[in-house]
Amino acid sequence: MATIKVQDLRKEFVTDTSTVVAIENVSFEVGGHEFVSVVGPSGCGKSTLLNILSGIESATRGTVDITEGDRKAKLGYVFQSARLLPWRSVIDNLLFVQSSRGPQVRARCERYLDMVQLSHTAKQYPGQLSGGMQQRVGIARAFSIEPDLLLMDEPFSHLDAITARSLRRELHVMWQETGKTVLFVTHDVSEAVELSTRIIMLAKGGRLVADLPVELPFPRDPASDAVALARADLLRRFESLDLLAT
């Protein structure tokens, strides 16, 4: 369980013709066994935020601190597309991101592959799997390094509704069983309500406009009245902020 401290974060992308502000003055803190969703319309800087947290991009200004106790936290990252090495087998894709080798490490990878019910594909190549299975490999890969913090960038948005729904359930169970801190990016408000303990809303231009707890008991049935009400409430907030107009 990691602690994230983001302070006065700003990110500009400077191109030949223009400067795009992707993140504008964002601050927040996350700690403990939280499942935090970052919600906002596309282009509002959600991926950029995760990329800065993971170190893929550097911030223009501001600070990011992700710690576990008094050391740097270990991060797992699940991308929008699975980003597997197509020329390595499924199990080798998990081994690729491990910081050490050995029989216990391999056993751990196999265990997480089993957790997403893909043990039987260990020796197959990603190209032999369906999109949903590849995404599950991506999730297993993120869990397999036993991260303190899990970053997820719209992991289910490319999948069909049925696959996405069952993966959301799987993810919820894994989050509860492993006690990780999760930062989950989505543009889908229903998904955020179903999974999160807390929702951070970003608006166009990368401004943080709301930071709300979601106080509904798990398991949450996406068809239940309570979830529908929470979703409606969030959407109303978005509308009142005139965020969807852009």
Ligand X SMILES: Nc1ncnc2c1ncn2[C@@H]1O[C@H](COP(=O)(O)OP(=O)(O)O)[C@@H](O)[C@H]1O
List interacting residues with ligand X (CB under 6 A): 13, 15, 20, 22, 40, 42-48
Residue 80 C-beta: closest distance to other proteins, Å: 9
40 or 126: whose CB is closer to ligand X?
40
Kindly tell me which of 19 and 99 has the beta carbon lying closer to other proteins: 99
Q: What's the min distance (Å) between Cβ of 14 and ligand X?
A: 8
- Among residues 76 and 206, whose Cβ is nearest to other proteins? 76
# residues near Mg ion by CB under 5 A: 1
CB 208 → ligand X: shortest distance, Å?
13
Helix/strand/coil (H/E/C) assignment for every residue in the chain: CCEEEEEEEEEEEECCCCEEEEEEEEEEEEECCCEEEEECCCCCCHHHHHHHHHCCCCCCEEEEEEEECCEECCEEEECCCCCCCCCCCHHHHHHHCCCCCCHHHHHHHHHHHHHCCCHHHCCCCHHHCCHHHHHHHHHHHHHHCCCCEEEEECCCCCCCHHHHHHHHHHHHHHHHHHCCEEEEEECCHHHHHHHCCEEEEEECCCEEEEEEECCCCCCCCCCCHHHHHHHHHHHHHHHHCCCCCC
Q: Considering the rule CB under 5 A, would residue 93 count as an interface residue with Mg ion? A: no
Find which of Mg ion, ligand X, other proteins, none residue 48 binds, CB within 5 to 8 Å per kind.
Answer: ligand X
45 binding partner (options other proteins, ligand X, Mg ion, none; Cβ < 5 to 8 Å by kind) = ligand X
Positions that interact with other proteins (CB under 8 A)? 51, 54-56, 75-77, 79, 81, 83, 85-88, 96-97, 99, 125, 127-128, 145, 151
- Tell me, residue by residue from 16 to 55, as one string, x for binding to Mg ion by CB under 5 A and - for no binding: -------------------------------x--------
Distance CA 149, CA 67 (A): 9
Q: Which residues bind Mg ion (CB under 5 A)?
A: 47
